[in-house]
Amino acid sequence: MDWTAPQKPTELTEGRLIDAILEGHFSINSFLPAERELARQMGVTRPTLREALQRLERDGWLEIHQGRPTRVRDYWQEGSLGVLGDIASHSDHLPADFVPNLLFVRQLMAPAYTRLAVERAPEKVIKLLEAHTLLPEQAEEFAAFDWKLHYQLTIASGNPIFTMILNGFQELYLPMACLYFQTAAARASSRHFYAGLYTVSLNGDAQAAELLTQRVMGESLDLWRLVK
């Protein structure tokens, strides 16, 4: 049984506006209709619309000035982590290079947070990896394990910014990982990574953990390109 709460009017309005921006109905640097007119078009009250607009301004989608039209920001250059999470949750509108760009960012980040995790809390990393040999050959199982591993590595690193960035694309991570792990080559690459990381963590070798992660993250980007 699905007990997911229905969206509130403000959340629904916010999501519809993001869709309209990503679909190009409100293009970058264009101006939204006046508040009264936009509320009428969307079939919502002005207080509901105003709250949604304020939330979108906070995240970097919009620029609001009293007495002037509301501008759609260039969210790729002016947006925040909130925009990243919003785009990830609207996967129907993802640019073709969005996932490869995210993987490239992870390739830069993951070696750093993995090294810090092994330096600060090798016993936690070891415990995370103890069950890796029991993973069944199912994409969903690999996706869930991989997410949990990287999420916990960011926490063990002691730098919460890593965790916040990773959380920004959690909604996209699992479905994309399920697609990625459909291939035997991707699962084999990750099995090798988990085994290697387990060994270097037992040895407390943080530098080796960093180098291993850097190499495997590069492999994952190459394998994703083959999937797509």
- Per residue in 175-207, pLDDT (tens digit) is 888 888 999 999 999 999 999 999 999 999 999
HSE-up (13 A, CA, CB side) for residue 185 = 9
Q: Are residues 67 and 136 in the same domain?
A: no
Inside any domain, residue 54: yes
Instruction: Give the end of a domain, one of 91, 116, 139.
Output: 91
Q: Are residues 57 and 148 in the same domain?
A: no
Inside any domain, residue 2: no
CATH of the domain at 121: 1.20.120.530
Residue ranges in 3-80 assigned as alpha helix (H):
9-22, 35-42, 46-59, 75-78
pLDDT at 103: 80
- 23: containing domain: 9-91
pLDDT tens figures, 116-156 = 999 999 999 999 999 898 999 999 999 999 999 999 999 99
Question: What is the percentage of the chain residues whose pLDDT exceeds 70?
Answer: 96
Instruction: Give the end of a domain, one of 75, 91, 107.
Output: 91
Q: In the chain, how many domains are there?
A: 2
pLDDT at 38: 95
Burial of 21 (0-12, 13-18, 19+ CB in 10 A): buried
Tell me the pTM. Answer: 0.75
In angstroms, the CA 51 to CA 185 distance is 47
Q: Are residues 114 and 85 in the same domain?
A: no
Inside any domain, residue 80: yes
